[in-house]
Amino acid sequence: MAESSSSFVVSTSHTRHDVFLSFRGEDTRDNFISHLYAALQRKNIEAYIDDRLQRGEEISPALETAIEESKIYVIIFSENYASSTWCLNELTKILDCKKRYGRYVIPVFYKVDPSTVRKQEERYKEAFEVHEQLFKDDMDKVQRWKNALTQAAELSGWDSKVTRSLYFLHALFQIIKISFHLLNCVDLTIDQLFLIFYFSFLLVSHGFDHITSNSLSFVLRSDVHSSSF
């Protein structure tokens, strides 16, 4: 977690969406994303999902607005995420909002190693070989994409290859649900959300799959009162 944002209070002002899901459709739309989206909807957590099959190179102004107006970002890195300039532009916009507003970002590594994303190896390397040819006159943009992948992959997140498959989707849902609930109850700093995230990961990974916000209140700083939950 970057030191420059750790003391920021997470801003939820002027937000319309609870969660923004960034994903590569061909890898995740019909399995992982559809199940996660349905689970969030059942709990009345409004998730923004751009499910258009045809996308251009640049994200639309409407999508930029949706990113600006979301409380939590879930980025699902998959094998072909980096091959989409649309996804890469979403990612840079998300990290910009994280920096400006202190918003909460949850990276998910779906059947891809975090180091592959961080170092742009394997399919990510192949994708950037194509990008460097297509955008040879705008290499600054390509470098921004690389920097964004590295930055996002260094955040604490979920690795589907490590977390037991039985708990992976459910665990991620639990984290989003708890984060959403807490953000609506009290102002939290990035540090506090990180502690919640890490503690929840430990609990769910060990089979404690019914976590409540009450069970997490002790991880917050003393300036946040447990009675707020």
Mapping DSSP onto H, E and C, the string for 197-220 reads HHHHHHHHHCCCCCCCHHHHHHHC
The answer to whether 90 is a known catalytic residue is yes
Running DSSP on this structure, what letter comes out for residue 8? P
Which helix (DSSP H) or strand (DSSP E) does residue 18 occupy? Answer: strand 17-22
Which helix (DSSP H) or strand (DSSP E) does residue 26 occupy? Answer: helix 25-28
Helix, strand, coil percent content, the chain, rounded in steps of 5: 55, 10, 30
Q: What separation in angstroms does the CA of 146 have from each of 2, 29, 105, 143, 228?
A: 17, 24, 17, 5, 40
Instruction: Please identify which residue in the block is written with the tokens 């490590």.
Output: 162
Distance CA 78, CA 145 (A): 16
Q: What separation in angstroms does the CA of 108 have from each of 41, 60, 75, 162, 181?
A: 19, 24, 6, 11, 20
Instruction: Please identify which residue in the block is written with the tokens 């297509």.
Output: 134
In the set 58, 90, 126, 154, the catalytic residue is: 90
Distance CA 171, CA 203 (A): 9
Q: In this structure, what token pair is assigned to residue 216? A: 């997490």
Q: Which residues are marked as active site?
A: 90
